[in-house]
Structure 1
Amino acid sequence: MNHKFFNYLGLAMRAGKLVTGDETVLKAVRSGNAKLVIMATDASGNMQKKYRDKCGSYQVPLLEFGSRAELGSSIGKDERVLLAVTDEGFARMLQTCQAK
């Protein structure tokens, strides 16, 4: 488990640089506000296909990382399947951290 990654997610949430939920994340991707989309590894097959396609066509990086429970607890919420990072700095930190 990558504690740094989840800590950074919590920081991004407190800074107001995260949006969650299917419709909100989709809106952020379409508007260009999403700098990174994080999807739980246990998301449904339909959800995975939808966001791989959307992020691919809008050229938004997509990370599949952590379970629903891990993503939710790291931001102080119930289970979350989708998160969009709306800040370039946080997006870069999370991608770098996840790659290690």
Structure 2
Amino acid sequence: MKNKIYSLLGFAQKSKNLFSGENTCEIYIKKKVIKLIIIAEDASHNTLKKMINLCNSNGIPYIIFGNRDMLSKSIGKINRTVFGIKDENFAKKILEIAELLNIERSV
């Protein structure tokens, strides 16, 4: 089931519906483009706190899932800890899977 999230991230990347990297995601959160944020479990405490605060203040759901290596590999990049989904359908599907897996999330 976790593999489905990784696959969806790959599809989102290929269809240009995904942003990656803390700074990039921060910009697009503020522009109200992002529908879901995925934060790697091994992100730094400061990154985790900053992204959760940004999501909460902008009403954007987030999940804390996976590690940076697996998440980065799924989109063909390296060393990324924050991922932003801009397509509503991708976001909904990932949130559904996260709920089934009891992944820590906020909506």
Q: TM-score, normalised by structure 1?
A: 0.96
How many positions carry a matched residue from both structures?
100
Partner of 1:47: helix, strand, or coil?
Answer: helix
2:95 equivalent in structure 1:
95
2:104 equivalent in structure 1:
none
Q: How far 1:99 sits from its partner (Å)?
A: 1.7
For 1:6-85, what aligned pairs fall within 5 Å after superposition? 6-85=6-85
Identity level (%):
34
- The answer for unaligned runs of 5 or more in structure 1 is none
In 1, Cα distance between equivalents of 2:29 and 2:44: 19
**Shift >3 Å, 4+ stretches:** none
1:69 partner amino acid = D
Q: TM-score, normalised by structure 2?
A: 0.90
Q: Is the 8 A contact 1:55 1:62 kept in 2?
A: yes
In 2, Cα distance between equivalents of 1:26 and 1:79: 17
In 1, Cα distance between equivalents of 2:31 and 2:96: 24
CA RMSD, Structure 1 to Structure 2 (Å): 1.0
